[in-house]
């Protein structure tokens, strides 16, 4: 039986970060499509229209906090898995995002290379 291929949405306003994530994700066999949003509003729109399985979400977005987007996703689309990827990797943010339903929390600076293994393990 062929496993389900994932649609991944990256919500991050850093083009550099987005390109790096896309390059890592393109190599994964279980990823079918990669979508990108640069803001909270774009993120909400693509969650509705793109039907992603996973959202890689930054806390710092230009129009609103990624934490607010995490809340909306988990309230309206509880089956979507959310992985936080942020430079604000303080214990406070890790615990808050975990309590709101984030699957993982990665520090952009030190844990970026761990993202593909987490995505590869999801089916």
For residue 27, the enclosing domain spans 6-120
Q: How confident is the model at residue 7 (pLDDT cuts 50, 70, 90)?
A: very high
Question: For 41, phi and psi rounded to 5 degrees?
Answer: -60, -45
Tell me the mean pLDDT in the region 27-33.
Answer: 95
Tell me the mean pLDDT in the region 41-69.
Answer: 97
What's the structural domain count of the chain?
1
Query: What CA–CA distance (Å, rounded) separates 105 from 107?
Result: 7
Tell me the mean pLDDT in the region 53-81.
Answer: 97
Query: What CA–CA distance (Å, rounded) separates 37 from 72?
Result: 15
pLDDT of 50 above 70: yes
Contact present, 94 and 67 (Cβ < 8 Å) = no
Structure confidence at residue 4 (pLDDT) = 79
Query: What CA–CA distance (Å, rounded) separates 93 from 43?
Result: 20
Kindly state whether residue 34 falls inside one of the protein's structural domains: yes
Structure confidence at residue 2 (pLDDT) = 53
Q: Chain centroid to CA 101: how far?
A: 12
Kindly state whether residue 82 falls inside one of the protein's structural domains: yes
Q: Can you read off the two tokens belonging to residue 87? A: 């430079």
pLDDT of 3 above 70: no
pLDDT (tens digit per residue) in 92-119: 999 999 999 999 999 999 999 999 999 9
Q: Which of 6, 9, 3, 26 is nearest to 82 (CA)?
A: 9
pTM here is: 0.94
Kindly state whether residue 1 falls inside one of the protein's structural domains: no
Q: Which helix (H) or strand (E) holds 85?
A: strand 81-86
Tell me the mean pLDDT in the region 29-51.
Answer: 96
Structure confidence at residue 122 (pLDDT) = 84
Residue 53: give its domain's CATH number: 3.40.50.2300
């Amino acid at each position: 039986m062929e496993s389900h291929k994932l649609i991944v949405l990256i919500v991050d306003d850093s083009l550099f970060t987005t390109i790096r994530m896309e390059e890592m994700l393109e190599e994964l066999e279980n990823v079918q499509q990669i979508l990108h949003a640069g803001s909270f509003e774009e993120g909400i729109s693509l969650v509705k229209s793109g039907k992603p399985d996973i959202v890689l979400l930054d806390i710092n977005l230009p129009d609103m906090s990624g934490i607010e987007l995490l809340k909306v996703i988990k309230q309206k689309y509880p089956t979507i898995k959310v992985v936080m990827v942020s430079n604000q990797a303080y214990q406070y943010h890790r615990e808050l995002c975990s309590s709101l339903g984030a699957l993982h929390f990665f520090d952009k600076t030190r844990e970026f290379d761990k993202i593909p293994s987490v995505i590869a393990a999801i089916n």
